[in-house]
Structure 1
Amino acid sequence: MSQSQQSTAGAEGNENEFQVSSESDESETEAEQQTNEQAETPNPNPNPTPSSAEGDGSQALKKRKRTSKVWKHFKENSKKEVHCKYCKRCYKTVNSGTTSHLLRHLKSCGKYKRFIGNTSGLIPINESGDGAVEAASPLWMNGKWDPMKDRELLANVIVGHELPFLFAEYSLFHKYMKYNNPLHQKVSRTTITKECIKVVESEKDKLKKVFQNVDRISLTSDCWTSNRTVGYMCLTAHYIDEDWNLQKRIITFKDLSPPHSGEVISDAILEAIRKWGIEDKIGTITLDNASSNDKAAGLLRLSFEARDRLHFLGYFFHIRCCAHILNLVVQDGINKIEKYLSAVREGVKYLKKSEGRLVKFGEIATQLGISTKRALCIDVKTRWNSTYHMLDVAIHYKKAFKGYALRDFNFEWLPEDVQWDQAEKVCKLLAVFCATTKIFSGTSYPTSNLFLVEIFNVKLAICQAYEADDVFTQEMGAAMYMKFEKYWGEVNVLMAVAAILDPRLKMESVNFVFKIVYSGYEVQSRVDEAKHKLRALYDMYARKYVSSSESTESTDSSSGPSSLAATDSHLIDVWQHMETTWSNGQADSDLDNYLKEAVFQHRKTTPFDVLKWWKTNAIRYHILSKLARDILCIPISTVASESAFSAGGRILDDYRSSLKEDVVESLVCGGDWIRANMRAELQTLQHAANVEEDLNVQIPMSQLNIN
C-alpha cells in the first residue's frame, strides 16, 4: 500500500482509535521533551569525568531546545523526517529549524481539525460594531463538531434575516463555509425548510413558557392584503417580563377568509389566543378606526364578559390606534390647504424629472453656500409625512429656487414670498405631528406614560393654529381641531392614568394638561373621572392581592394568637386588643402614599426608565407597582403589528408568492422571535438595501471594463 493510500485509510479509521493513538503519540513527545530537558540540565558535579564529557550528555548540552508549539503535533524519526500525528504525512526536517511548512500543514489537515472538534468548550461571540450579535449567547461545542447544530444555526440565519430557503444551496455560500470548515456539507432546500420549521417550533415552546409567568398581556392587531390579494391578520402580544422589560411578540400572522367582517376578525383573534393559552390574561386590544374592527372589539368584549375575564373593570378593553387618529387629523388639515402647496410641489417635480436640472440646481446651491446633502423629494398625497419632508427640504433650498428661476426661463413654479411663508407655517405644524408619530411608531415603542405629554403638544399646536391671525392657518387648524375633538375622549382616561403612574408627572401633569385640552367647565369633571377610575382600579388590585396574602398567612400555623394560646394564654387579651386597634384605624394605601410624595426629579439630559423605577420601588408600593406594571404595557398604536406587514411583503414577494399559509406564518413569527432575542435588530435584506444606498465607495475607473 502506498503512502497516500495509508493516509486515506488512516483518515477513514475509527475516530476513537485515532484519538487514542494521538494521545499516545503526544505522551511520547512529552517524554522526549523531558529527556531533552534532563540532558540540557548542567551536571552538578564540578569535576566531570572525561567519559561524561564525551558521552551523550555533552551532545545533549549542545542541542537546542525546541520551543515551537508545532512539535506537539509532529513526531521525528531516525531518518530525520517528521510525520503528523494525525494524518501521518511525512516532511523532511530543515537544517535551519524553521517550522512554517509544518504550521501550514496543520491549517489544512482535516484529521487535526477533527481532533480539535473533539475538545469540549465554547466559542465566545463578541459584539461587533453593528451590534447585530446574539446577546450573551456563546456557541457551546459539546464534544465533536455537530452537523445538526450547523443546520440549526443556518436555519436561524435564514429565518432571522428573512432569506430564501434556496440560500442554503448557493454555491458561493457553500464554498465559503467549506473554506471555514472542511467538514461542512451542503444542505438541500427541502432539508433546511424542515430545519427552519423545527427552529420556529422550538422558539414557540419557549414563548409559551414565558407567557405562563406573565400576568397581563395587551394585544394589537391589524389587517393587510398581500400581492396575491390575500388578506392577512397580524396579532401582536405586548407584556412586561420578569425583569420589568417591555416586550412584544407576534403570535399570529394568518390569512383571513373574505369578507373581512367583524365576526371573521374576532373569531380569528379568539382562536389565536386559545391556541396560546392566554385567553384569561388579555387586558386590552388596540385596533385602528375601521368599522369592522369596532364590531370585532364589541364581539370580543361580550366573549370576555361572559367568562368574567374582563380586566381593568372594562375601562380600557378597546383602544383606538392614536397613530391612525393623528393621520386622520393631519389629512383633514392638509386637504384644506392643498391649493397653497401646488407651487412647491410642481417646482420640485420639474427639477426631479431631469438629472441635468438637478445638477444645475445643485451647483447654484453650492455657490450660495447651501449644503447639498439633502435631496429633493416628491410627496405622496396619501402620506402626510412625505408632504412634511418635501416642504422641509424645499424650504432648505429656498434661495436656490430663486437663483434657478433666474437661469431657467421655463421654470414657472417659483413660489412667491407669501407661499414660502405659508409653507413654513405648515412645516412647523407638521413637525409636531411628525415627532409625536415617530414616538408612537418607534421600533422600541414607549411605555404609555409618555402619551399624555405628546398629545398635549399636538393639541397645543392645533389650538395655536386655530387661533392664528391669518385665514390660511385658521382653515387648517379648524379642520384639525374638529377631528381631534372627535377622537380625544376615547383615550384620554388611559393616558391620564398612565401619566399619574409616572413619578415625574403624577396628578400635577393631568391638572395642567387638561386645562389646555378641555374647556374650562369640564376640566374638573375630567380630572375627577381619571382619579375615580385610578382609585377603582387600585381597590380592585388591593382586594385581589391582599386576599391572596391573607390566605397564605392563614396556612402558616406558626404565627398569630392561636399559636400563642397553647403556650402563652395570658397574651390573648393583648392580641385581641391589637386586632381591634387595627380594624378601627385606616392606614394609608400605596396609592395615597405615592400621591402624597413629591414628584421625582429627573434630569432631562438622561433617559428615564419608568419600569426600572417601579421595579426598584416595588417593595414600597407592593400593590400599586402591580397595577403600574399592567397599565404601562398598554400600547395605543397598532404600528407594532403593521411593521410585521413589511416582513410579510419581503417574504411574500413576487418570487415566493406560492408559499403555503402555515409556512408564511412560521417565517414571520419565527423571524420576529429570533430578532427579539438579539441585543440589536438583525439586518434584513430591506435594511441592507437602505444602508447600501448611502454607501459612498470610490471605484477606480481602471477596474471597470467600459467600452
Structure 2
Amino acid sequence: MSSLRKLFHDVDTPTNKLFHDVDTPTNNLVDLNVGESANLERVTVETKDNGKTFKKDECIHCKKKYKPSPGGVTGSTHSKSCPYMKRLKGTNNGFINSEACSSASVSASASPSGFSSNGGYDQMKCREMIAKMIIAHELPFLFVEYHWFNRLMECNNHLYQKVSWVTVRKDCVKVVEVEREKLKKVLENVDMVSLSGDRWTSNQTIDYMCLTAHFIDSDWKLRKCVIGFNELAPPRSGEGIADGILECLVKWGIEDKIGTITLDNVSSNDMAASSLRDKFQRKGKLHFEGLFFHVRCCAHILNLIAQDGLRTIDCCLVKIREGVKYFRKSRDRLLEFGKVATSFDIDTRRSLCIDVKTRWNSTLRMLESAVHYKLAFQEYALRDSNFEWCPTEAEWARAEKVCRLLEVFLDTTNLFSGTSYPTSNLFLIEVFKVKKEINNAYISKDEFLKNMSVPMYEKFEKYWGEMGVLMSIASILDPRFKLLALQFTFERLYPVNELTSRIGDVTNKLKSLYEKYSKATKVNSSSTKSSGSPNVHGIPEDDFYAYLKSRPVETPQKTELEMYLEEPNCEALENPNFDVLQWWRQNCNRFPILSKMAREVFGIPFTTVTSESAFNVGGRILDEYRSALSKDMVELLVCGGDWIKSASLTSIKTLEQSVKEEENLEIQIP
C-alpha cells in the first residue's frame, strides 16, 4: 500500500522530473500564483541585456516578460492587465458571443477545442465546443454537471470553469442560431430548392412534420439539411400539412424557390402536395411549370412491392422467426445448432439474425441466413422434439425463390438510401433491374412466382409513369449515358410497337423543359448569328443590289441540348470516382442553360430517407427522461444536430447507434 501511495504521490509533485519538465522550454516551471491569479501560468526564462543574463517570468498566454517576485505579487498584478485573463473573465455576461462564434467556428476542426488562435486557452471557445458536442451526440444538458466530465476537463486544463446545465442550454441556442444564419445565407444564393418530408408521432403523442431541403450549392455539391421539425396541429388533414410546410418555408424565406416535394404514398400527403401546388401556381412561382412537383418516395414504393412478395410466404417466415428465437433463448441450443451445421460442412461464420417485421430488408436478411442453414434446421428438428418450427421442403423452395427475387430490390434500396452517389442519374438503370425481375416472374411458367408477382407488377405499373420520366431525364443528363440508357432500358421493358412512342414521350418532355429554361433566361434557342448590322444610311435609295449586300447573313444555330446530345459520350464508364456534378461544373460555360437545368434536376430527391432518419434522432432526444422538452427545443436540437454533423469533417455516431452496430440483431454461430 505504501508503495502504491508513493507512486501516485510522486506523479503530482514537482520533484517528479518527467512530469515537471514536459511543458517548459527552460525546464524550470514555476508554481501557479494563488488568489485571483490562480488561473495565470508563467515560466522562468533567461534574457540578455548588454551582455548580461537575467532571469524573468514570462506569461504563457500573452508572452509578456516581467521581473520575478518570490511572493508572486508581480504575477498577481500582471493578471489584472493580461489581455488573455481579461478575455477569460469576459464582458458578455457569461454567454457565448454569437458574432465571434460565427467567425471563429467555420468548421469544427479549425482550431483545437478550447484554444484561441494565439494558443491560449479560451473558455468561450471551449463552451462552444461543449454545446456542439451536446447537440451532435444528443446528450442531456445535465451532462456538463456530471462529476467525471468535469474532472476530465479539469485534468486536461486547470483553467476550465464549470458551467451549469442552464448555461449550456443557452449556449446551445446561440450555437444553433449561428448555424441557422449560415444556412440562410447559403439558401439566398440558390435558385431552386427541392423538399422531402415525412410525419412522425413521438412518445408525447405529438405529431411532427420533418422537412428537409435538397439543393446544389455554388460549388456544385449536393446539400441536404433539415429545415423544420414542427408540430402538426390537429386535424392532420392534407390542408393542415400544407399550411405547416408553407409556414416553415416562409420562416426560411424560400417559399418562392420550391421546385419539387417528395412525400410518402398517403392520401393526406397527396392532398397536401396538390394544395401547395395550387398556391405556388397562383403566385406564378411554380418551377418546371408543375411537371414534377409531387415526387413519390421510391424507397416507400419498393417497400410496398417487396412486402407483397414476402406476404406470399408468411407461414414460412413465422416458422423461421420463431425458430431463431428458440435458438437465441439458450446458449446450449445455439452451440448444438452450431455443431449440427459443422457436421454438414456449413460455414458457421455467417450469423443467424432475427428481423424487424416492419423492415422488409431485415426480413430478407433473416430469410437468407436461414436458407444458408437449411440442412442444419432440418437435422436439428430430428434431434430436438421440442423444435416445431422447421419449414417444409416446399416452403424452403419458395423462400429461396423469394430471396432471389428480392435481392435486386435490396441493391436498389441501398442506392436510394445511400450517400456515396447521391444524384439520380443511376436510378433508371437500377429501377430497370427491379422491373425486369418482376416482369420475368410475371411471365414465368412457375405458378408460385406468377401468382406472387401479380400484385407487385400492378403496383409497379401504377407508380412507374410518375417517376419514370424524371429518372429518364436525369440519366440523359449524365454525359456518359445520354440517350443510350433510355434506349437500353426501354427496349427491354416495352414491346416493339410501344418503344418509339415511349422514348418519344421522354425526349419531347426533355425538349419542352429545356425550352422553358431557355425562355426563363431570355435566351432564344433559335437565334441567328449576324455578320453585321445593315448600313441603310449610306445606301443610295435606288441601288437595290447594294441593299441586298448590306443584309445580315442568317445561319441556323443549334440549341445547347442538340449540341450536347450530338457530342460523343464521355468515356468515364469504368471510373468509379466520376462525379457528374463536377462534370457539369466544368462545362457550364459551354452549356449555360442546360447546366442550370441539370443542377436543378439532380437536386431532386427520390426518397424521404433523410427525413425518416431525423425521426430516429427525435426518438433519442425525446426519450422517457426528456419527454418534457418543449417542441421548440426539440426542433432546435434536431435541426441543429443535422447542421453540425453535416459541417463536421468526420462521421459522428451517437451512443445508441454504436450499441446497435455492436449488437446488430445477430448472434454468431459458435
Please indicate, yes or no, whether the TM-score normalized by the shorter chain is above 0.5.
Answer: yes
SS in 2 for 1:31: strand
Match of 1:354 among 330, 341, 347: 330
CA contact (8 A) 2:560 2:591 kept: yes
CA contact (8 A) 1:504 1:599 kept: yes
CA contact (8 A) 1:118 1:145 kept: no
Aligned to 2:303: 327
**What is the Cα deviation at residue 290 of structure 1?**
0.5
**Which residues of 2 match residues 220-235 of structure 1 at below 5 A?**
220-235=196-211
Q: Deviations over 1:124-156 (max 9, x none)?
A: xxxxxxxxx957523461465332222111111
**What is the Cα deviation at residue 258 of structure 1?**
1.5
Match of 1:173 among 146, 149, 156: 149
Question: How far, CA to CA, are the matches of 2:546 and 2:489 in structure 1?
Answer: 52
Q: Would you say 1:686 and 2:656 are equivalent positions?
A: yes
Q: Would you say 1:137 and 2:110 are equivalent positions?
A: yes
Query: Residue type matched to 1:184 in 2?
Result: Y
Aligned to 1:47: none
**What is the Cα deviation at residue 628 of structure 1?**
0.4
Aligned to 1:246: 222
- Which shows bigger deviation, 339-348 or 210-219? 339-348
Question: How far, CA to CA, are the matches of 1:461 and 1:86 in structure 2?
Answer: 84
Q: Would you say 1:30 and 2:47 are equivalent positions?
A: yes
Question: How far, CA to CA, are the matches of 1:135 and 1:253 in structure 2?
Answer: 24
Q: 1:687 to 1:34 in 2, by over 3 A?
A: farther
Q: Would you say 1:156 and 2:135 are equivalent positions?
A: no
**Which residues of 2 match residues 625-636 of structure 1 at below 5 A?**
625-636=595-606
SS in 1 for 2:351: coil
Q: Deviations over 1:304-343 (max 9, x none)?
A: 0001011112110110111111111112222233235454
Q: Deviations over 1:613-670 (max 9, x none)?
A: 1112212222111110110110111111111000000001111000001000000000
Question: How far, CA to CA, are the matches of 1:695 and 1:417 in structure 2?
Answer: 27
CA contact (8 A) 2:381 2:390 kept: yes
Question: How far, CA to CA, are the matches of 1:242 and 1:318 in structure 2?
Answer: 25
**What is the Cα deviation at residue 10 of structure 1?**
6.5
Q: Deviations over 1:528-550 (max 9, x none)?
A: 1111111111112222324599x
Question: How far, CA to CA, are the matches of 2:384 and 2:231 in structure 1?
Answer: 54
Match of 1:462 among 424, 431, 438: 438
Question: How far, CA to CA, are the matches of 1:135 and 1:504 in structure 2?
Answer: 37
Query: Residue type matched to 2:288 in 1?
Result: F
Aligned to 2:588: 618
**What is the Cα deviation at residue 370 of structure 1?**
3.1
Q: Would you say 1:580 and 2:580 are equivalent positions?
A: no
**What is the Cα deviation at residue 250 of structure 1?**
0.4
Q: 1:86 to 1:519 in 2, by over 3 A?
A: farther
**What is the Cα deviation at residue 423 of structure 1?**
1.6
**What is the Cα deviation at residue 32 of structure 1?**
7.5
Aligned to 1:77: none
Q: 1:576 to 1:609 in 2, by over 3 A?
A: farther
Query: Residue type matched to 1:202 in 2?
Result: V
Question: How far, CA to CA, are the matches of 1:496 and 1:207 in structure 2?
Answer: 31
Aligned to 2:100: none
**What is the Cα deviation at residue 468 of structure 1?**
2.3
Question: How far, CA to CA, are the matches of 1:434 and 1:526 in structure 2?
Answer: 27
Aligned to 2:607: 637
Aligned to 1:647: 617
Aligned to 1:432: 408
Query: Residue type matched to 2:412 in 1?
Result: T
Q: Would you say 1:449 and 2:425 are equivalent positions?
A: yes
Q: Would you say 1:658 and 2:631 are equivalent positions?
A: no
Q: Deviations over 1:405-432 (max 9, x none)?
A: 3432333433344433322111111111
CA contact (8 A) 1:466 1:478 kept: yes
Q: 1:118 to 1:423 in 2, by over 3 A?
A: same
Question: How far, CA to CA, are the matches of 2:235 and 2:323 in structure 1?
Answer: 43
Aligned to 1:670: 640
**What is the Cα deviation at residue 676 of structure 1?**
0.6
Q: Would you say 1:292 and 2:268 are equivalent positions?
A: yes
**What is the Cα deviation at residue 522 of structure 1?**
2.9
SS in 2 for 1:628: helix
SS in 1 for 2:387: coil
Query: Residue type matched to 2:552 in 1?
Result: T
Q: Would you say 1:12 and 2:55 are equivalent positions?
A: no
Question: How far, CA to CA, are the matches of 1:574 and 1:635 in structure 2?
Answer: 60
Question: How far, CA to CA, are the matches of 2:193 and 2:584 in structure 1?
Answer: 18
The number of residue pairs the alignment matches comes to 594
CA contact (8 A) 1:320 1:491 kept: yes
**What is the Cα deviation at residue 162 of structure 1?**
1.0
**What is the Cα deviation at residue 11 of structure 1?**
5.6
SS in 2 for 1:200: helix
**What is the Cα deviation at residue 35 of structure 1?**
4.6
- Which shows bigger deviation, 250-259 or 410-419? 410-419
Q: Deviations over 1:538-592 (max 9, x none)?
A: 112222324599xxxxxxxxxx9799x99xxxxxx999978822xx322111111
Q: Deviations over 1:451-470 (max 9, x none)?
A: 11111010011112222232
SS in 2 for 1:141: coil
Query: Residue type matched to 1:389 in 2?
Result: R
**What is the Cα deviation at residue 401 of structure 1?**
1.9
Query: Residue type matched to 2:560 in 1?
Result: D
CA contact (8 A) 1:361 1:400 kept: yes
**Which residues of 2 match residues 358-373 of structure 1 at below 5 A?**
358-373=334-349
Query: Residue type matched to 1:426 in 2?
Result: V
SS in 2 for 1:236: strand
CA contact (8 A) 2:111 2:117 kept: no
SS in 1 for 2:196: strand
Query: Residue type matched to 2:657 in 1?
Result: H
CA contact (8 A) 1:236 1:251 kept: yes
Q: 1:364 to 1:117 in 2, by over 3 A?
A: farther
**What is the Cα deviation at residue 212 of structure 1?**
0.7
Sequence identity (%): 50
Query: Residue type matched to 2:47 in 1?
Result: E
CA contact (8 A) 2:128 2:171 kept: yes
Question: How far, CA to CA, are the matches of 2:549 and 2:417 in structure 1?
Answer: 58
**Which residues of 2 match residues 9-158 of structure 1 at below 5 A?**
12=36, 26=45, 29-31=46-48, 35=52, 88=70, 137-139=110-112, 141-142=116-117, 144-158=120-134
Aligned to 1:495: 471
CA contact (8 A) 1:337 1:472 kept: no
Query: Residue type matched to 2:463 in 1?
Result: Y
CA contact (8 A) 2:198 2:209 kept: yes
Query: Residue type matched to 2:230 in 1?
Result: K
Match of 1:185 among 158, 161, 184: 161
Computed over aligned residues only, the root mean square deviation of the Cα atoms, in angstroms, reads: 3.7
**What is the Cα deviation at residue 223 of structure 1?**
0.4
Query: Residue type matched to 2:626 in 1?
Result: R
Question: How far, CA to CA, are the matches of 2:638 and 2:154 in structure 1?
Answer: 30
Q: Deviations over 1:233-277 (max 9, x none)?
A: 000000001111111010000111122110110001111111111
Aligned to 2:487: 511
Question: How far, CA to CA, are the matches of 2:397 and 2:69 in structure 1?
Answer: 81
Query: Residue type matched to 1:534 in 2?
Result: L
Query: Residue type matched to 2:360 in 1?
Result: W
Question: How far, CA to CA, are the matches of 1:357 and 1:13 in structure 2?
Answer: 67
Q: 1:542 to 1:14 in 2, by over 3 A?
A: same
Question: How far, CA to CA, are the matches of 2:492 and 2:658 in structure 1?
Answer: 44
Question: How far, CA to CA, are the matches of 2:220 and 2:549 in structure 1?
Answer: 42
Q: Deviations over 1:455-497 (max 9, x none)?
A: 1010011112222232111111222111111111111110111
Q: Deviations over 1:214-245 (max 9, x none)?
A: 11110001100001111000000000011111
Question: How far, CA to CA, are the matches of 1:294 and 1:198 in structure 2?
Answer: 37
Q: Deviations over 1:60-86 (max 9, x none)?
A: xxxxxxxxxxx8869xxxxxxxxx977
CA contact (8 A) 1:504 1:602 kept: yes
Q: 1:88 to 1:686 in 2, by over 3 A?
A: farther
